[in-house]
Amino acid sequence: MKQSGKKNGNMGILDANIEEARARMYALYGENHRITGGQYDKSLAVKCVNGTFVGKKTDEKVVAFKGIPFVGKQPVGDLRWKAPVDIVPDDGVYEAYYFAKAPRQEGSVSQLGSLYPQSEGCLYLNIWKADDESTEKKPVMVWIHGGAFEIGGTAEPREECTNFVKENPDVILVSIEYRMNIFGFFHLSHLPDGKDYPDAQNLGLLDQVMALKWLHENIAFFGGDPEKVTIFGQSAGGGSVTLLPLIKGSHKYFQRVIAESGSPVFTRSVEESIACTNEVMEALGCKTVADLQKVDVETLVKTEGALLGLRVWAERDGRILPLDPYQAYMDGAAEDLDLMQGCTKDEVGYFIYGFTVEGYNAWAADRLQKKLSQLTDEEKALCAAFCERAKDVSPEYSSTSRLFDQIVFIAPLFRLSENQTMAGGKSYTYFFTPESSVPLMRSGHAIELSTVFNHPEETFVTGRLFDETFSKTMRKMWVQFAKTGNPSLTAAESPDGKAKEWPLYDLENKQVMIFDEFNIHAEKESERQLVDWERTYFLTKYYCI
């Protein structure tokens, strides 16, 4: 999720060095071109429906294909705020050496991918595969990055996939881009000329579906199995992968889901979306979509970012997404899919560090006031009772921060596990506990990402190296789930030589896999009392905004 965009707090101080960080990302940039004359390495070329793409070795054992378009036309000009356009056959040969441009957004060092060169024409994907002689179709894992639906990109260094595939050559890894912020999640249909933009509120999700469609039709050419696809993501990416199963026709494109620190709580109602749009329109002095089209891109991005921080979510519009996603899960919308989901012990620590204690407390007080205004008097009393019980030994971690841990991450995690299980579907649930050495961060939001992608050198969030065997075991369980639908490991499969039996979530014992750094093990939820079933679980009906 996104840090504060203002120049205050630790994140603001770091943003003073944003040009240095941007230079690091620009150093990765290059442009892919059409290849003519037949001069290219045929062993690194893959023929797809919309062209032949020539990859490049990122390691002696790994080949990457970067910047492959998954649409027929990029969403620019007249296609801004329109649904993605499907590919058309193409016999051309193209370089796939470099990441395509990131979506338009405000850059932040909290996610270096946001500092990569940007464009509205951003609908491209990347594929990493082992350079081996295997002829067996491999499971495919498709990564959807986070960033609060506002920032981020596939060029994020901690999410680069070479190290993962080198360690786990029996899977193919993919990352996909999608429109964000005002370009991907902006309600327009209520405006006088808005009827021509019926999908604008959920375009980012439709982009993701189009990328998955491209993979379904083309991944076999890379050695992937289109019938064994796992979508996984963190934060907004975690929210995305729990919403994609609710989109009609999506299940043909994937069979498994891994959601890290994200859930359907990252959505807003039609009324909330319209209110957000109206705030931006008023600030810009616009009345119609035609007016918006005349505003320069930088102004669009900066105005939306200043007004709607942490309020840019997908929309429960009743057409693309159901009005009640949780009820949809309970009614069996994903009962044919295998789910694996979890969160970290101190999610909000990421924001306490990023905003500073003072900045976070001010933001949280304002957000809490808005949240409480939605509740009945009885519900307000329950929240007050939770806060009284949740006082932390550290003054930096107020009871309000623990309440937001519950509202935004923990309670939604367990509601989704409950609903999926009630419907007869499978859910494996986890809780990640290792702590950062960065002051205030603890086991904060996004702390597991450098571990998942095998980038221990990316210590912005972790501040330190996690135990190597623990890290390798965690990755192995992610891969095992993608391969089999069950993340459990036998002793022979486990890096430490000890079996890891991960039980399905069940309504009686509510078992959770605890990722302690030196003791990965299963526990009943009641042993740690992770969620306050009486005082906070009900808050999921109010979602996140």
> 258, 252 in Cβ contact below 8 A?
no
235 is catalytic: yes
Task: Find out whether 75 and 210 touch, Cβ atoms under 8 Å.
Answer: no
d(CA 262, CA 238): 4
In whole angstroms, what is the distance from residue 92 CA to residue 112 CA?
Answer: 32
Q: In angstroms, rounded to a whole number, what is the distance separating the alpha carbons of residues 462 and 477? A: 21
Strand-pairing partners, residue 64, are 56, 128
Q: DSSP strand E in 171-319: where?
A: 172-176, 224-234, 256-260, 267-269, 314-316
Strand pairing category for 93-95 and 51-54: parallel
252 neighbors 245 (Cβ within 8 angstroms): no
Residue (of 498, 337, 481, 349) closest to 419 by Cα position: 337
Give the active site residue among 108, 235, 417, 471: 235
Residues 437 and 446 sit within 8 Å (Cβ to Cβ): no
How many Cβ atoms sit within 10 Å of the Cβ of residue 392?
Answer: 12
Start-to-end CA span in the chain (Å): 13
Query: Which of 171, 212, 224, 219 minimizes the C-alpha distance to 47?
Result: 219
Q: Answer yes or no: are the C-beta atoms of 276 and 268 closer than 8 Å.
A: yes
List active site positions.
Answer: 235
